[in-house]
Amino acid sequence: MAETIKFELNGKKVEIPLEKGQTLLWALRNNFNMTGTKYGCGEGYCGACTVIIDGEAVRSCGITMDDVAEKKITTIEGLSVTGKLHPLQQAFVDHDALQCGFCTPGMIMNAYGLLLKTPHPTRKQIIEGMEDNLCRCGAHTRILEAIESASKVLKV
């Protein structure tokens, strides 16, 4: 019998066959059709594939499925649990903190990971926390403002 891997995805217990070498990024995109998590560089440089694993922002392109057993994973699709936009998502909309939108899910998830650890970060802490997420359109200023304003209303 094929080995399976069990974990929690956006609050639901899930199980998929273990495919050797499969990364979390492609499991999410292909096995679960959760395409909000993006491929941008495949080597951990850009952050477009960022998800939360056990409270930590992680690049899903560098995580193989055998590493996620029994872990809790949150993706952009699972960020809002109320049906309304999550305060971070709302802040990105309010600040127009995006252009093409391709890096946006990764930006939001990385910011979420940052706020889980540091609920009220200074501007400097936000910059440091977001430094390695790349945006080509140049929405940086607004992304920083969005995270700052979300941190003021967000109860983590």
Partner 1 sequence: MKDNKYYRDEVPENNPTFEVDRRDFVKLLGGGLFIYFQLGEFLVGVAAEAEQRRSVPTDYNAFLHIGEDGTVTCLIGKIEMGQGIITSFPQMIADELDTPLESVKMVMGDTELCPYDAGTWGSLSTRVLGPAMLVAVAEARAVLLSLGAEYLEVAPEDLAVENGVIFIKSKKNKKVSFGQLTKGKKIEKYLEVKPKAKDYSEYKIRGKSFKHADGIVKVKGEAMYSGDFRMPGMLYAKILRPPSHGATLISADTSEAEKMEGITIARNKELVAVLHRDIEKAEAALFKVKAEYKFDEMKVDDQTVFKRMLEFPSEARVVKSSGDIATGKSSSDLIFESEFHNSYVAHAAIETHTALGFMEGDKVVVRASTQTPFGTQDGIARELGLGLDKVRVIPPFLGGGFGGKTMFRQAIEAARLTKITGKPIMVLWTRKECFFYDNFRPAAVIKITSGTDKSGKISLWDYHEYFAGARGSDTIYDVPNAKTTSYSARDIHPFLTGAWRAPGNNTNTFARESQIDMMASKTGVDPLDFRLKNLKDERMIGVLKAVADLFGWTPAKSPSGRGYGIACGFDAGSYVAHIAEVKVDQTTGKIQVVRVACAQDMGYCINPEGSIIQMEGCITMGMGYALTEEVKFTGGDIHTANFGTYQLPQFSWVPKIQTKILEKNEAPQGGGEPAIICMGGVLANAVFDACGARLYQLPMTPERVLGAIAKVK
* Rounded Cα distance, 107 and 101, in Å: 10
- Give the range of 10-18, 23-31, 111-119, 148-156 binding partner 1 by CB under 8 A: 23-31
119 is a site residue for partner 1 (CB under 8 A): no
Q: Looking at 3-11, 15-23, 66-74, 148-156, which segment touches partner 1 (CB under 8 A)?
A: 15-23
Query: Which residues ranging from 42 to 81 are in contact with partner 1 (CB under 8 A)?
Result: 42-43, 45-46, 48, 75-77, 80
3-state class (DSSP) for residue 154: coil
Give 140's contacts (C-beta < 8 A, 6+ positions apart): none
Among candidate residues 2, 109, 93, 90, the one with its CA nearest the CA of residue 46: 109
Query: Distance between CA 52 and CA 112 in Å, rounded?
Result: 8
Residues that bind partner 1 (CB under 8 A): 19, 21-23, 26, 29-30, 33-43, 45-46, 48, 75-77, 80, 85, 89-90, 92-94, 96, 98-105, 108, 126-128, 130-144
